[in-house]
């Protein structure tokens, strides 16, 4: 019998392994009969090794007992997807990603082998939109009848930690923890006086009045426009928190709002006020879920459960949806080897490859980016439009932040889904240049320049731009703004006057963005996948596979790029003060050390 490659692809994993083992045994038998003892024994030993390895490494770890408890720990930095750069892969130690966590929680809802889900929360490193998405996933588990227990550890329980936890059916907190019921805040450092004292002059351009990213270098306090936009953003996010807590903890919105802004609270007081069910420790909960007369193999860690899902999954013949991640500050080419960045060249090529792949029926583009390079953002926007011209639907799912350049890459998609607390919009352009002639004079540094034209050293840090140079550059930045808003008008099918009202550099919450036509739906990645299915023409009930595109590969991550051996201490501290993910710092450094107009910083 002759098996074609297509026929082999239709066989189950177990059958393929069995065929390999049978072939090796048959080959070994033939060799032994022919008198080739060494070759025959080697072939038979190889068959035994293949069978044993398959059982020990694939079959056995993938089995889970009935009435199992899925355990999940949310702590520290949790990435959206697997890191691509070699340095980040080594640092991550194979830690689960948000993609893994979503897959596990969605599968757990319909898994009859799972009796309960135990979630340990200890200040995970993501924003409010992701916290709300996890909150909704836990609530979906509870609605399906699963017992879900959240255990909050750590000295301080932040509003973000609590939002995730109250999606569970039961909340347990360490007795010595304290709830930081401080509401929400947003602010900015203002460095004008400090820069003047050390002899650094900042020249900035912003289009338009709400684009406050550079105000920190030229003002001593927020402009009225920046304050207005941040107050609205904080108000929307606080309303979301209030509604979520009130619904989950079965209290009135007024009571929930009062408690969320009540200040510092002990766990005992939180129990009295109905925010927490009881004080306790993770070990106590494990004992409760694991009676003494039952084996301790009942607890299933996330990694083991994911192996179980992979082993039992049969995706043969299913239509595929490609999931492409655009994460971190946008750069044109490849960014630093450390940290998280959004390469315009790489992401645009991935979108093109997916659009040419006949197995891919639609593209889900997950964006979590504060913006960055205008040119890099435009490359991705163009790739999205090319995919649409090829008949491949593109649906964007926004994470914690998708503003400025992060919105630019999304605005041409067939549909945009944002979380209610996603920070988006910031449709504008900002430019900043720093010059240090006074500082150079103070420390005794001289400079002599030979130039072909009067403007040849316009970008030199040794002198500020002249008024004429700044006016000329302002025209260029204005053209970038006009291009940006024109593409928003086209992609979102808005009236130009409406686009101008929602643009001008202003940030919006996901809720406000939907009300103004900047996004189509509110929800998480699951909502975006459902929209992509619909636009791909998949029938109700027809199963699909959501595949990372391209598949994670260590060798593909070994690109040639300049690596920063150390993140400057000052920039790292600034990133922390501005509440930015530290993994974005190297890419931000890369942007700062280059000249050019940037679509940057929607959080300011």
Work out the pLDDT band at 77, boundaries 50, 70, 90. Answer: confident
pLDDT digits (tens, 9 = 90+) for 90-133: 555 557 889 999 999 999 999 998 999 999 999 888 899 999 99
pLDDT of residue 46: 86
Window from 42-56, 193-207, 452-466, 583-597 with minimum mean pLDDT: 583-597
Among residues 259, 254, 231, 72, the alpha carbon closest in space to that of 159 is found at: 259
Percent of the chain with pLDDT over 70: 83
CA distance 514 to 422: 11
84 pLDDT exceeds 70?
Answer: no
pLDDT (mean) for 437-447: 93
The confidence score (pLDDT) of residue 19 equals: 81
Q: Report the pLDDT value the prediction gives residue 80, as an integer from 0 to 100.
A: 87
Distance CA(198)–CA(436), nearest Å, equals 9
CATH architecture assigned to 316-446+459-464+506-566+578-599: Alpha-Beta Complex (3.90)
pLDDT in tens, 175-228: 999 999 999 998 889 999 999 999 999 999 999 999 998 999 999 999 999 999
219 or 62: which carries more pLDDT confidence?
A: 219
Please tell me which residue, 169 or 3, carries the higher pLDDT value: 169
3-state secondary structure 45-80: HHHHHHHHHHHHHHHHHHCCCCCEEEEEEEEEECCC
Domain 68-186+224-308 matches domain 316-446+459-464+506-566+578-599 at the CATH topology level: yes
Q: Model confidence at 574, in pLDDT bands (50, 70, 90)?
A: very low
**CA distance linking residue 489 with residue 491, whole number of Å:** 6
Q: What is the pLDDT of residue 297?
A: 66
**557-581 average pLDDT score:** 38
Predicted pLDDT at 353: 96
CA atoms within 13 A on the CB side of 406: 34
Would you say residue 344 has pLDDT above 90? Answer: yes
Q: Are 153 and 282 in contact (CB under 8 A)?
A: yes
Residue spans of the domains in the chain: they are 13-62, 68-186+224-308, 316-446+459-464+506-566+578-599
Per CATH, which fold does 68-186+224-308 belong to? 2-enoyl-CoA Hydratase; Chain A, domain 1 (3.90.226)
User: Where residue 473 falls among pLDDT bands split at 50, 70, 90?
Assistant: very high
Asked if the model's pLDDT at residue 414 lies above 70, the reply is: yes
417: helix, coil or strand? strand
The token duo for 29 is: 């038998």
**Residue bearing the bigger pLDDT, 306 or 532:** 532
Given pLDDT bands bounded at 50, 70 and 90, which one contains residue 347? Answer: very high
Q: Can you list the alpha helix ranges (DSSP code H) found in 293-373?
A: 302-312, 344-356
Tell me the angle at which helices 98-108 and 302-312 cross, rounded to the nearest 10 degrees.
70
How do residues 584-593 score in pLDDT, each as one tens digit? Answer: 555 554 554 4
Q: Which helix (H) or strand (E) holds 423?
A: strand 423-425
CB-count burial class (<10 Å; 0-12, 13-18, 19+) for 145: exposed
pLDDT of residue 13: 63
Q: What pLDDT does 581 receive? A: 58
- For the chain, give the mean pLDDT: 85
pLDDT at 62: 64
Rg (CA), the chain: 27
pLDDT digits (tens, 9 = 90+) for 224-267: 999 999 999 999 999 999 999 999 999 999 999 999 999 999 99
pLDDT tens for 485-506 read 999 999 999 999 999 999 999 9
* Residue 513: other Cβ atoms inside 10 A: 27
pLDDT tens digits, 314-342: 666 789 999 999 999 999 877 655 567 88
């Amino acid at each position: 019998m002759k098996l074609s490659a297509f026929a082999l692809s239709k066989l189950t994993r177990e059958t393929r392994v069995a065929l390999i083992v049978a072939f090796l045994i048959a080959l070994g038998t033939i060799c032994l009969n022919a008198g080739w003892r060494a070759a025959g024994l080697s072939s038979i030993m190889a068959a035994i090794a293949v069978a044993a390895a398959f059982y020990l490494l694939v079959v056995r770890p993938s089995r889970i007992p009935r009435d199992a408890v899925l355990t999940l720990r949310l702590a520290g930095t949790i990435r959206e997807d697997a890191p691509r750069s070699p340095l980040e892969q080594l640092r991550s130690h194979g830690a689960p990603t948000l993609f893994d966590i979503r897959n596990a929680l969605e599968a757990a809802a319909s898994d009859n082998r799972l009796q309960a889900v135990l979630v340990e929360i200890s200040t995970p490193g993501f924003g409010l939109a992701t916290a709300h998405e996890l909150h909704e996933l836990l609530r979906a588990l509870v609605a399906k009848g699963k017992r879900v227990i959240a255990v909050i550890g750590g000295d301080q329980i932040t509003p973000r930690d609590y939002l995730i936890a109250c999606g569970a059916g039961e909340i347990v907190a360490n007795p010595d923890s304290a709830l930081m019921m401080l509401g929400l805040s947003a602010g900015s450092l203002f460095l004008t006086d400090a820069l003047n004292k050390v002899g650094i002059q900042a020249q900035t351009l912003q289009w338009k009045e709400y684009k406050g990213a550079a105000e920190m270098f030229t003002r001593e306090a927020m402009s009225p426009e920046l304050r207005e936009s941040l107050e609205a953003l904080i108000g929307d996010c606080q309303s979301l928190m209030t509604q979520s807590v009130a619904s989950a903890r079965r209290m009135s919105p007024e009571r929930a709002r009062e408690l969320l802004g009540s200040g510092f609270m002990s766990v005992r007081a939180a129990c009295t006020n109905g925010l927490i069910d009881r004080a306790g420790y993770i070990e106590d909960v494990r004992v409760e879920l694991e009676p003494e007369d039952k084996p301790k193999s009942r607890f299933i860690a996330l990694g083991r459960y994911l192996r179980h899902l992979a082993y039992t999954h049969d995706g043969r013949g299913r239509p595929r949806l490609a999931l492409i991640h655009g994460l971190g500050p946008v750069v044109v080419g490849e960014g630093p080897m450390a940290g998280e960045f959004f390469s315009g060249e790489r992401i645009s090529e991935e979108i093109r490859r997916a659009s040419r792949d006949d197995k891919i029926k639609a593209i889900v583009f997950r964006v979590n980016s504060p913006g960055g390079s205008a040119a890099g953002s435009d490359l991705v926007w163009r790739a999205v439009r090319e995919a649409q011209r090829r008949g491949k639907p593109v649906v964007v799912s926004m994470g914690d932040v998708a503003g400025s350049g992060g919105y630019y890459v999304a605005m041409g998609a067939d549909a945009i889904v944002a979380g209610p607390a996603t920070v988006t919009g910031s449709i504008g352009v900002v430019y900043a240049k720093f010059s240090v002639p006074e500082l150079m004079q103070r420390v005794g540094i001289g400079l002599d320049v030979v130039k072909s034209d009067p403007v040849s050293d316009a970008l030199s840090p040794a002198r500020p731009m002249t008024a004429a140079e700044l006016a000329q550059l302002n025209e260029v930045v204005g053209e970038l703004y006009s291009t940006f808003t024109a593409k928003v008008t086209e992609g979102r099918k808005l009236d130009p006057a409406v686009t101008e009202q929602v643009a001008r550099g202003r940030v919006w919450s996901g809720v406000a963005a939907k009300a103004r036509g900047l996004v189509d739906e509110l929800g998480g990645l699951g909502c975006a996948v459902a929209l992509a299915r619909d636009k791909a023409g998949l029938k109700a009930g027809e199963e699909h596979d959501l595949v990372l595109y391209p598949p994670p590969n260590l060798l593909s991550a070994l690109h040639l790029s300049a690596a920063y051996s150390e993140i400057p201490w000052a920039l790292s501290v600034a990133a922390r003060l501005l509440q930015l993910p530290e993994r974005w710092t190297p890419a931000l450094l890369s942007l700062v050390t280059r000249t050019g107009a940037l679509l940057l910083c929607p959080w300011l």
